[in-house]
Amino acid sequence: MWDLFVDNASVEGKLATTAVVAALAVFVGAVAGRLSSRRVADRYRKYYARKIAHYSVAVVALIGLGIVWRPFAGQLGLVLGLTAAGLAFAMQELIGALAGWFNIVSGSIFRVGDRVQLGGVRGDVIDITPLRTKVMEIGSSVGDDTWVRGRQYTGRIVSISNKATFTEPVFNYSSSFEFIWEEVTIPVAYRDDWHLAERIMTEEALRVSSSKQAEEAISAMLHRYPVARTEVEPRVFVRATDNYLELAARFVVPVRTARWVKDDLTRRVLERFAEAGITVASSTEDVTIRSDPVRMGKDPSGDAA
């Protein structure tokens, strides 16, 4: 019987050796899984420790069986070539992720703490690894991707492959310029004093705008990039529509306080509009229905017909 196990030249010997290797792999995998999980307290890490032990034993067993059966004996060059081609195809995502990590580090695209939009996800970067970037997601007032209607945390941490830096645009909100231009648009009825409404919105925009800090940030950015200077002082733009006048206040705010600033400005403007008797317009119509006394069977004097 032992001679059969040692004999790897005949098919019978190879089959016997394969059976022994398979049995040993099952036994060693079970023992290694239990031993590895005992050293870990967390149940999730226990699960992964058992998986790693099982996979490692399986790989070693397959290598041993390959040595026993030698299906590609004398064709080492062909085997290595096919293996390299298969690995390159199977690991193209991995290679792309590693290249993306090098792109992030060498190109200073973003760093931990920056607010970015990467792979269609908006949020703050909390970790960068050679394969993935982890982002603490924030909501958006545009689109239906998240349930949070503003640039505030949703509570989700999103892992994004670094390869996305090559395939999609990367928006950085805070790398060199930590301010954004915000707009608050309020419609005003044509019958109201829109000049007063414009003045109120201008005063409130001046109150909340971070124009001075933004001007200093632009001056500092000019030392790194040949960008043109732009207007940072608040302005109110007026646009006429079929139903009302749109007054849009444009101002500069720090990127992480935009929602609070917009909320404060909107509340103040609405309160001052109410005090001044200015109506916030809409596309709805007011319809008044008056009955015809004659058609209703009544005399205009009030007596029944």
What's the predicted TM-score (pTM) here?
0.66
pLDDT computed for residue 166 by the predictor: 92
CA distance 100 to 165: 6
What topology is assigned to 179-276 in CATH?
Alpha-Beta Plaits (3.30.70)
CA distance 293 to 305: 10
pLDDT computed for residue 170 by the predictor: 92
Question: Judging by beta carbons within 10 Å of its beta carbon (0-12, 13-18, 19+), is residue 289 exposed, middle or buried?
Answer: exposed
Amino acid at 276: A
SS3 content of the chain, % helix, strand, coil (to 5): 45, 20, 35
8 Å CB contact between 153 and 199: no
Closest CA to 122 of 95, 102, 94, 142: 142
Q: Which residue spans of the chain are classified as CATH 3.30.70.100?
A: 179-276
pLDDT computed for residue 305 by the predictor: 46
Question: Judging by beta carbons within 10 Å of its beta carbon (0-12, 13-18, 19+), is residue 49 exposed, middle or buried?
Answer: buried
CA distance 10 to 144: 66
Q: Which residues pair with 135 in a beta bridge?
A: 125, 158
Task: Encode burial over 121-130: b for 16+ CB neighbours within 10 A, e otherwise.
Answer: bbbbbeebee
53's tokens: 């032990």
Dihedral Cα 25, 30, 32, 35, nearest 10 deg? -170
- CATH architecture classification, 106-172: Roll (2.30)
Q: Which residue spans of the chain are classified as CATH 2.30.30.60?
A: 106-172
pLDDT computed for residue 35 by the predictor: 80
Q: What stretches in the chain show pLDDT beneath 70?
A: 1-13, 69, 71-80, 82, 143-145, 284-288, 290-305
pLDDT computed for residue 10 by the predictor: 67
